[in-house]
Amino acid sequence: RVVVPERDALRYRTESDPRGLIADMRQQLDHLGDSASSARERDLLWLMGTAAVNVNDDTALTEAVLRLDSLASAQHFSLAAASAGFLRSRQLIATGIGDGISEALRAAAKVQNDSNPVVRAWASYNLCDAYAMSDKARSALSLCEKAQDAYRELGDTWGLAQAENDQGINFANLDQAENAIELYQRSRQHFASIGMDQLVVMVGDNMARMYLKTGRVREALALSQTPLAQELATGRVSDALVSRANIATDYAALGQPALALSTISIAVTDARAAGMDGLLPDLLARRSQMNERAGHSAQALVDAREAIRLLGEHNAKALRADEAALETRYAGRERELRIRTLEHQNRLQDLALKTARAQAAERTEAQQHQALIGMVVKGVSVALILIVGLLYLLLRAQRRHAAELRIQTLRDPLTGIENRRAFMQRAMALLGDGHASRQPHVLMLIDFDHFKQVNDSAGHPQGDRVLSLVTGYLNRAVAATGHVARIGGEEFAVLCPRLGAEAGLRLAETLRAGVAALPLPATVLLDHITVSIGVALFDGSQCHDLSSWMKAADAALYSAKSFGRNRVVSSTVLH
Ligand SMILES: Nc1nc2c(ncn2[C@@H]2O[C@H](COP(=O)(O)OP(=O)(O)OP(=O)(O)O)[C@@H](O)[C@H]2O)c(=O)[nH]1
């Protein structure tokens, strides 16, 4: 057995135990504290009102409607206002007094803008119900379709089954029996799936009418009798009236006119007693037909006239115009809402478009940014390469400059030959290598004779000229065998590695004679210039280092000067 889900239990009781529910609701309402929410109070009142409509409890219904109205105005609570409206509408439709549809339309309009889908589904169903119960099947069809969709979307089986039942009623009113049976069956299945057996029976009653129409009379009668018993037991007067009328119709169809007539008469009497004027015309019309079939023409006419009179009252012109105006307004409002939805969708699409554009712009910007970064990276790379290149060039220039300076520190600026420092380095390097050869190294110290006279007579610049001239000669003469360096003002040194004593002395003599033979420019005011040369050998035995070697050469030079100048003296001669 399927158990009714908890959330449906109370609304199920509006059908299965309406009186008990009214009592419970009253009690709960009496004990509602001041802090109770309006929503809770409205829920209790709605359940109480719904149950009251089902059992024609005017007192409970009036109480529920009044309290809902005051809740609505005190709290500006449109759901409460709509609930009161729908209850009034149900009452008007059930009793057949006044204009139930207008009331329902006004109620629906109050919550038309509600954002809660549950409220919208509820309003949609109540509107469907109002039209269906007012036999306005054509208008009701789309409303009940909408209600089914809304409940299906919410997963509300109870609501869906109710809307399906109403849709079945609409098809029945349009004489589309097969469609009606299909909807009733769906409704019964849905009610059965949530354990609402009494509602399964109630819809079965409706289905029975359709069986009757399609010739399945016995099935119809069987389906109708169960609900009647149930409705009588729960005090659902109007439903019981309808069921009884249906059973009467079943009897008539089964060829039992007397039974049909007595049954429908009970229904008519009950309806009068309960003041169910809304149902009365239909009951009277049916009884009129049954009287006619049973041959009671006079009684048939009385019933028919009364039915027409009641229907006439019910469908007064003014009310119909009211209804039409309300319907138009409602449809207009629906259109407005649709337009608003479309506008909203347009705005959303517009927004989506703008977002897409913004994203595209962002992407472009990002790409430009990337490109910029790429350019900057390239620029920086080029700059770095340039800087590296420049640094390299600078370094090279500096190296060259340093090399230049190094050279300069080793050269004599006047003559362009090596200076004293270069000579010392060269001589030390030579001695540092050790002495592996049999031939000794030769060192000559060359000093100009009476050079002071040149300066004194011809001037210092002319002295310079003579120095350069003689240097040029010495350089050329020595090039193949050694190096010349200017180691003092007018003092020169010639270093000839591994030249040997004999060749060394020969070279010294050649140099002395060569200088003496050098023609001098007229400005020097001298025919020729001579030099004295001291020669010292280095063979690793007599001299041990540069200092002693230099001393030996110097001593030889000194001797040359002493012996009268313009001559070569070897240090070996001195020993
Ligand atoms: N024009 C010129 N004269 C120089 C240079 N260096 C040294 N002298 C001169 O050379 C002369 C050297 O003179 P002294 O040392 O007295 O010797 P001297 O006159 O050559 O005589 P002895 O060496 O004794 O034969 C000085 O007058 C210096 O001024 C130079 O670079 N240019």
Q: What is the pLDDT along the chain (575 residues), one digit of tens a residue?
A: 577 877 789 999 998 899 999 999 999 998 887 778 899 999 999 999 999 998 889 899 999 999 999 999 988 899 999 999 999 999 998 887 778 999 999 999 999 889 999 999 999 999 999 999 998 999 999 999 999 999 999 999 999 999 999 999 999 999 999 999 999 999 999 999 998 888 998 899 889 889 988 988 888 888 888 878 888 888 888 888 988 998 898 888 888 889 999 999 999 999 999 888 778 888 999 999 898 888 888 888 888 888 888 877 655 554 556 556 656 766 776 777 777 778 878 888 888 888 888 889 999 999 999 999 999 999 999 999 999 999 999 999 999 988 888 888 899 999 999 999 999 999 999 988 765 567 899 999 999 999 999 999 999 999 999 999 999 999 999 999 999 999 999 999 999 999 999 999 999 999 999 999 999 988 888 889 999 999 999 987 777 889 999 999 999 999 999 999 999 999 986 65
Does the beta carbon of 452 sit less than 6 angstroms from any atom of ligand 1? yes
For residue 100, what are the domain limits? 1-113
Mutational test site, ligand 1, from 451, 455, 515, 557, max ligand atoms within 8 Å of CB: 451
CA dihedral 78, 83, 86, 88 (to 10 degrees): -110
Residues 6+ apart with CB under 8 A from 51: 13, 14, 18, 19, 21, 22, 25, 57, 60
In a domain, 277, yes or no: no
In a domain, 50, yes or no: yes
In a domain, 295, yes or no: no
Same domain, 447 and 398: no
Give the single-character DSSP code of 4: P
* Nearest protein Cα to ligand 1, atom 26: 452
Does the beta carbon of 412 sit less than 6 angstroms from any atom of ligand 1? no
Backbone angles phi, psi at 360, to 5 degrees: -60, -45
Same domain, 502 and 405: no
Give the single-character DSSP code of 2: P
Same domain, 402 and 445: no
In the chain, the N- to C-terminal Cα span, in Å, equals 148
Same domain, 569 and 425: yes
Task: Note whether 507 and 442 are within 8 A (CB).
Answer: yes
Q: How far is the CA of 519 from the centre of ligand 1 (A)?
A: 20
Burial class (CB in 10 A: 0-12, 13-18, 19+), 125: buried
Same domain, 482 and 393: no
| Count of domains for the chain | 3
Q: How far is the CA of 525 from the centre of ligand 1 (A)?
A: 16
- The encoded tokens of residue 123 equal 């309003």
Backbone angles phi, psi at 448, to 5 degrees: -70, 145
* Residue 571, number of CB atoms within 10 A of its CB: 22
* Residue 242, number of CB atoms within 10 A of its CB: 25
Same domain, 389 and 513: no
User: Comparing C-alpha atoms, which of 195, 282, 301 is closest to residue 238?
Assistant: 282
Q: Which atom of ligand 1 is nearest to the CA of 453?
A: 19
Mutational test site, ligand 1, from 414, 455, 531, max ligand atoms within 8 Å of CB: 455
In a domain, 238, yes or no: no
Task: Note whether 475 and 484 are within 8 A (CB).
Answer: yes
Mutational test site, ligand 1, from 454, 490, 567, max ligand atoms within 8 Å of CB: 490
- The encoded tokens of residue 139 equal 């208008």
Predicted TM-score of the model (pTM): 0.48
Backbone angles phi, psi at 195, to 5 degrees: 75, 15
H or E element that contains 80 = helix 78-95
* Residue 407, number of CB atoms within 10 A of its CB: 11
Interatomic CA distance for residues 568 and 566, integer angstroms: 7
In a domain, 162, yes or no: no
Q: What is the CATH number of the domain that holds 540?
A: 3.30.70.270
Does the beta carbon of 443 sit less than 6 angstroms from any atom of ligand 1? no
Q: How far is the CA of 320 from the centre of ligand 1 (A)?
A: 149
